[in-house]
Amino acid sequence: MEQKVMDLIKNKCGEENYKKLAVLNNQKVYDFVAKYIQQCNPDRVFVRTDSAEDALYIRNKAIENGEEKKLAINGHTVHFDGYYDQARDKDKTRYLLEKGIDLGPSIKGIDREKGLDEVHEYLKDSMSGKEMYVCFFCLGPLNSKFSISCVQITDSSYVAHSEGILYRSGYSEFKRKGNFNNFFRFIHSAGVIESGVSKDVAKRCIYIDLGDRIVFSTNTQYAGNTVGLKKLALRLAIYQASGEDWLAEHMFVMGVHNAKGRVTYFTGAFPSACGKTSTSMLTGETIIGDDIAYLRTKEGKAYAVNVESGIFGIIRDVNSQGDPLIWEALNSPGEVIFSNVLVTEKGVPSWLGNGSKIPESGINYSGEWTKGQKDSQGKEITSSHKNARYTVSISRLKNRDVKADDPGGVLIGGVIYGGRDSNISVPVQEAFDWKHGVLTMGASLESETTAATLGQEGVRKFNLMSNLDFLSIPLSKYINKHLDFGSKLNTVPVIFAVNYFLKDNQGNYLNGKEDKHVWLKWMEQRIHKEIEAIKTPTGFIPKYEDLKRLFKEVLDRNYTKEDYIKQFTLSVDENIAKIERIVTIYKTKVTDAPQVLFEVLQEQKQKLEEIKTEHGNYASPEILDVSELKISD
């Protein structure tokens, strides 16, 4: 049987690529590759090792196959997804579940046998006339107990190219580990290609088999649906972490530096397009990763690594003033993939909010485009898609942290939760303790939707830990895992909540785009107990004098008492209404929600009602600062 497997692989791989697999001495890899050679029927197979030559081969294939086109700057390319294939398809992303397994009403599943039959039917001969790419990567630093090895099979040179930028090459890890079984597997086919894009997006499906640790993706090209090691692998990792007492999170990892050279590392969870990347890229600070982190305990402390080595970032509103470091990387020679932007006849990419005038015409995700053009439903086609992206290696960034590849991870001092919230939460606040932060800031997170997922924008949605879309275990179990994680620590990270999107009654933002840097510096000083705070029913908030000093130090800006009161006035009714919404969700949509969640939320609600009785619906920070809630650490 094993010889038949190897003969099949050799027939499609040819001598050179066969040798690349043969030296791995891993039967599970051989079986996986052979099965999908037989199922997908590619004309030929290319095996990607860690070599620069193999990476270049795939980059060149992406141009040759028409999945990417060269741009004016050397190393820059553009990729277009289909008009109706522009975001993660949450509805078609489902778990393959054995009979009797229920992950809860918020997690979509399908009968495992039925799902396997369906996806294998889509995959049958899907690579006929194409080349199959077999790629090896590592989620996390090499030779680290944090990390997970992966094999990706795809017929898309764009997907293989993207992963080569976003992840550490893992071929050498497979050689080092030998005949091991603990790795993730991914199989993707773009399906029938017409005019350069997936034709059958109506048959798009993304299925996740938790027990077998494999992800299937068909009839789609958008990276969120196809780059298996990103959010699809996060689902597998959450499932694995739940049984091994660590956390797999939708979080950045960054270092915040003070004037004396101290570095404090933070993780931060934000839904897409809510400021996660821009926070992790603040000038003067250092980035380890902007999207996914694995957290483990060592000697009673929390450590984290960045799962990725690149950024798949939303490009809308990236400009030279707001994002100077990313802007420099996107405008300098070197490897960058732009997706679903507008490209002018001179080969220059243009996107919404880049600080320049929108061109009159060009090529975009709809094809040839002119200003004012509408689609078949009469909807105006924007020059660049709202969810247009860039893919770039973090090594291209000047603010890359020196510990970015440290196999031991970095010590975490603070955890941040953030989302889009126009009228409830203050710009920054600190939890009373780990339990309070997990339950009222993480497990109670709401955010207004954006173009990063399919569906209506601007709708307030529940999104605990900014990880709801990616959960592969019941919500109650996930919350308890977080509580347990903190309970085992001797040195506990401080939890914070931020909100960059607070508005006044006229709809004007109360935060400047750069203000987040001040909130971050305040958090860093709170972790080290260098400043006091005001205790409110929802958490600790800054004192005016500290923010006035920090705005001058960080932004060289005068910060007025008027701005402070507008930003940090407690909206009591809105906070109470939020608690009631969250309680309803957990009582009606979550099986066996932790009782402690209801207790903590009820206690917070009671404190809010006491404030309302004494001070009315809007309690300014000055009122709270002289109340009995005042604290001094």
CB-count burial class (<10 Å; 0-12, 13-18, 19+) for 95: buried
Fill in the DSSP letter of residue 72. S
For residue 259, the 8-state DSSP code is T
CA distance 231 to 88: 10
DSSP code string of 44-71:
EEEEE-S-HHHHHHHHHHHHHTTSSEE-
Helix locations, 438-474, DSSP H: none
- The full DSSP string for 550-586 is HHHHHH-----HHHHHHHH-EEHHHHHHHHHHHHHHH
The residue behind tokens 């802007």 is: 327
State how far the Cα of 448 lies from the Cα of 446, in Å rounded to an integer.
Answer: 7
In the set 13, 135, 205, 274, the catalytic residue is 274
Count the neighbouring beta carbons within 10 Å of the beta carbon of residue 65: 16
- CA-to-CA distance for 478 and 234, rounded, in angstroms? 14
Please give the C-alpha separations between residue 327 and each of 163, 354, 411, in angstroms, as whole numbers: 21, 9, 29
274 in active site: yes
Phi, psi for 508 (deg, rounded to 5): -90, 140
Using CA atoms, how far apart are residues 519 and 212, in angstroms rounded to an integer?
A: 43
* Distance in angstroms (rounded) separating the CA atoms of residues 453 and 354: 22
Distance CA 573, CA 84 (A): 40
Positions marked catalytic: 274
